[in-house]
Amino acid sequence: MKARLCMVLLLAVFIQPLQADKPGKAAIATAHYMATEAGHETFAMGGNAFDAAVAISAVLAVLEQTSCGIGGGGFYLIHRAEDGFETMIDAREMAPALAHRDMYLNPDGTANHDLSRSGPLAAGIPGQVAGMEHLAAKYGKLPLAVSLQPAIRIARDGFPVYTKFLGMLSRTEKTMRRWPAAPEVFLPGGKLPEMGQVIKNPDLLKVLEKIAAEGSDGFYKGELASKLVDGVRDAGGIWSMEDLANYEVKEREPIRTRYQEYELVTAPPPSSGGIAIAEMLNIIAPYQVSQLDRVQRTHLLVEAMRRAYRDRALYLGDPDFYEVPGQMLTDANYAAGLRAGIRFDKATPSAMLPGRDIQPGGTDTTHFSVMDDEGNMVAATLTVNTPFGSKFMVPGTGFMLNNEMDDFSTKPGEPNAWGLIGFTANEVQPHKRPLSSMSPTLMFGKDRQGIIGTPGGSRIITMVLLGVLDFFEGNGPESWVSLPRFHHQYMPDTIFAEPGAFSPDEVAALETMGHAIDVKSYTWGNMHGVMWNRETGEVSAASDKRSDAGLAVVR
């Protein structure tokens, strides 16, 4: 009798859905197939997800200088499987010591957008190299020098020009030609390269070899630092040796928010993404958004977006310089107050909330998602800001400098390149980090966990929100990255939509509610996601088809 009871209990245990404690496979989704392969190469050498993230970042720094690189910075949101520890490695650029609030104003007080977007004055002190070193030393299993090898190889042997690269190059070549060094690398023979033409970068090769040999000191101190400072100053910039030597990576406690039975771990300030996503989810929390019809769902999400982007403009900046009211903005009671102002039949004009008219700009930055077979996770979003950053390269270095200074509010209420406005919280100050929209995010449910993020300037936050909701609704990465996108950022008071995102009837219904809709002729974003279903054991990954070069591989 006792034996039979034991048998029944044992069977009961076995027929419970078993949850694997490790994925057993690794998944990588990035913006370029060579970066995805480099990440897997790192696993084959005994590396973990953090080493793979270093290798991928370095490869992208060679072949996706449209979007990121060692002249830029970014955020790595990481999850360590063995103890569940999570942190965000903040390798965001810092303003140089001589930066000041009014440095991008003309004598008549108007904003000089060219100075904050093009040339060396637009460049913050890069954080990318310090970020990679920190990730490798504190969380990786391989030396930095080993993880840099794929990038070194590609800088030496070259990469074939691909569609997105060529498109961005042709959009930016005119500005790039204002300084001689970058055209020598990217416009060989003085003209746009052909599709598939191989671009080698011997100067960047030397820089990467130096970093492999000397670590980040090879970049932030000594001969290369001196070359960077001289090159920046000769062309009108204000960097100093101290600015480079004093650059610091910071680890920041992520924003954590719950939605139904899910937990989201996402990017804290100096990113605006995590707080805005938490605020939007809190606003929509009482509604079953998946049950609403498409017009009502869009209306509700747009009203949440409008309010979160208003708060972004007013309250968010570098937390080391400005007391960000993060607790208030992510509080359910605060969201309830905002929700009370939403009518279900009518758009709230943004003019009823304080603000100015602004236009969103282009799209750039890069994101990748990595999970190793142990379940370590990295969501990394890296940037030089707009395509090819400042378009300025210090001669003899092979890498573009960012134009992240334009992510500051260069004049109160004046739109930046992404059409975003800001005030005191995000004004320029020495050593401060400009507010970002980059939103690398980790998603946890009782049986699934996922990694998501995308480039796209101000639209990053709304793209991630739509992807996160899709994860909550039970869908996987292929679906998140393929969703048609729409966006509202408070000002301008317009819903921007990708072609086909709404039917003509849906557009008409939203317009009747008082929404202005601008259906664009182009798409945006380049999302790369990974998911592990702990119940079925399936590991999946997907890369956005909006770009030709991305690749997701599970192995």
Site string for ligand GLY, 368-397 (x = CB under 6 A): ---------------x-x------------
Give the nearer residue to ligand GLY in terms of CB position, either 30 or 458.
458
The reply to whether 409 sits near ligand GLY by the rule CB under 6 A is no
Compute φ and ψ for 257, nearest 5 degrees. -145, 155
The candidate with the shortest Cα–Cα distance to 61, out of 76, 49, 43, 74, is: 74
Task: Compute CA distances 91 → 35, 135, 148, 215, whole Å.
Answer: 20, 10, 17, 16
Give Cα separations from 270 to 146, 149, 255 (angstroms). 30, 31, 11
- Active site (annotated) includes residue 365: yes
- Closest to ligand GLY by CB, 318 vs 404, is 404
Report in angstroms the alpha-carbon separations of 224 from 125, 154, 244, 384. Answer: 14, 21, 10, 19
Nearer to ligand GLY among residue 436 and residue 494 (C-beta):
436
Residue 435 to residue 321: CA distance in whole angstroms? 11
Contact between 457 and 362 under an 8 Å Cβ cutoff? The reply is: yes
Two structure tokens written together for 141? 């299993």
Strand partners, 348: none
Cβ atoms of 289 and 469 within 8 Å: the answer is yes
Minimum CB separation of residue 63 from ligand GLY in Å reads 19
For residue 419, CA distances in Å to 109, 488, 512 come to: 19, 11, 26
Output the smallest distance, CB 404 to ligand GLY, in A: 6
Mask for 335-374, x = binds ligand GLY (CB under 6 A): ------------------------------x---------
Residues 451 to 510 in contact with ligand GLY, rule: CB under 6 A: 457
Q: How far is the CB of 550 from ligand GLY (least distance, A)?
A: 19
As measured in angstroms, the least distance from the Cβ of 368 to ligand GLY is 16
- Ramachandran angles phi, psi of 214, nearest 5°: -115, -5
Query: Smaller CB distance to ligand GLY: residue 257 or 383?
Result: 383
Strand ranges of the sheet holding 495-497, from the earlier edge strand across to the other edge: 486-487, 495-497, 517-519
Residue type, 329: L
Tell me the closest approach of the beta carbon of residue 436 to ligand GLY, in angstroms.
3
- Count the site residues for ligand GLY by CB under 6 A: 9
- Beta-carbon neighbour count of residue 288 at 10 Å? 9
Between 91 and 211, CB nearer to ligand GLY: 91
Closest CB to ligand GLY among residues 133, 404: 404
104-112, 367-375, 432-440, 441-449 -> range binding ligand GLY (CB under 6 A):
432-440
Q: Is 116 in the site for ligand GLY (CB under 6 A)?
A: no
DSSP 124: P
- Write down the least CB distance from residue 544 to ligand GLY, Å: 17
Among 66, 266, 376, 436, binds ligand GLY (CB under 6 A): 436
Label each residue of 394-462 as H, E or C. Answer: CCCCCCECCCHHHHCECCCCCCCCCCCCCCHHHECCCCCCCCECCCCEEEECCCEEEEECCCCHHHHHH
Q: Whole-number minimum distance, CB 272 to ligand GLY, in Å?
A: 8
From the CB of 72, what's the least distance to ligand GLY, in Å?
Answer: 9
Please state whether beta strands 495-497 and 517-519 pair in parallel, antiparallel, or not at all (unpaired).
parallel
Catalytic option among 365, 397, 441, 494: 365
- Least gap, CB of 386 to ligand GLY (angstroms): 8
Considering only 187-195, 233-241, 248-256, 433-441, which stretch makes contact with ligand GLY by CB under 6 A? 433-441
Contact status: 133 vs ligand GLY (CB under 6 A): no
Nearer to ligand GLY, 48 or 383 (CB): 383
Residue (365 or 397) nearer to ligand GLY, CB:
365
Place of tokens 């034991």: 6
Among 369, 437, 462, 540, binds ligand GLY (CB under 6 A): 437
Copy the structure tokens of residue 216: 């980040």
How far is Cα 58 from Cα 63, in angstroms, rounded to an integer? 9
CB of 164 to ligand GLY, least distance (A): 17
Q: Does position 438 bind ligand GLY by CB under 6 A?
A: yes
- Measured over the CA atoms of residue 163, residue 168, residue 170 and residue 171, the dihedral's sign is positive
> Element (H or E) spanning 529, and its range?
strand 528-533
Q: Which stretch binds ligand GLY (CB under 6 A): 240-248, 277-285, 288-296, 430-438?
A: 430-438
Nearer to ligand GLY, 142 or 401 (CB): 401
Going by C-alpha positions, the residue among 36, 20, 22 that lies closest to residue 369 is 36
How far is residue 440 from each of residues 142, 233, 399, 489, 510, measured CA to CA in Å? 24, 34, 24, 19, 30
For ligand GLY, which is the closer residue by CB, 222 or 362?
362
As measured in angstroms, the least distance from the Cβ of 175 to ligand GLY is 17
Piece of 7-15, 99-107, 434-442, 505-513 that binds ligand GLY (CB under 6 A): 434-442
CB closer to ligand GLY out of 365 and 547: 365
| Residues contacting 230, CB < 8 A, separation 6+ | none
Contact 170, 192 (CB under 8 A): yes
CA distances, 122 to each of 93, 404, 405, 437, 535 (Å): 11, 7, 5, 18, 49
Q: Which of 64, 93, 133, 407 binds ligand GLY (CB under 6 A)?
A: 407
Looking at beta carbons, which residue is closest to ligand GLY? 436
Under the criterion CB under 6 A, does residue 303 sit at the interface with ligand GLY? no
Stretches 136-144, 211-219, 436-444, 529-537: which one binds ligand GLY (CB under 6 A)? 436-444
Give catalytic residue positions. Answer: 365
Q: Which residues bind ligand GLY (CB under 6 A)?
A: 365, 383, 385, 404, 407, 436-438, 457
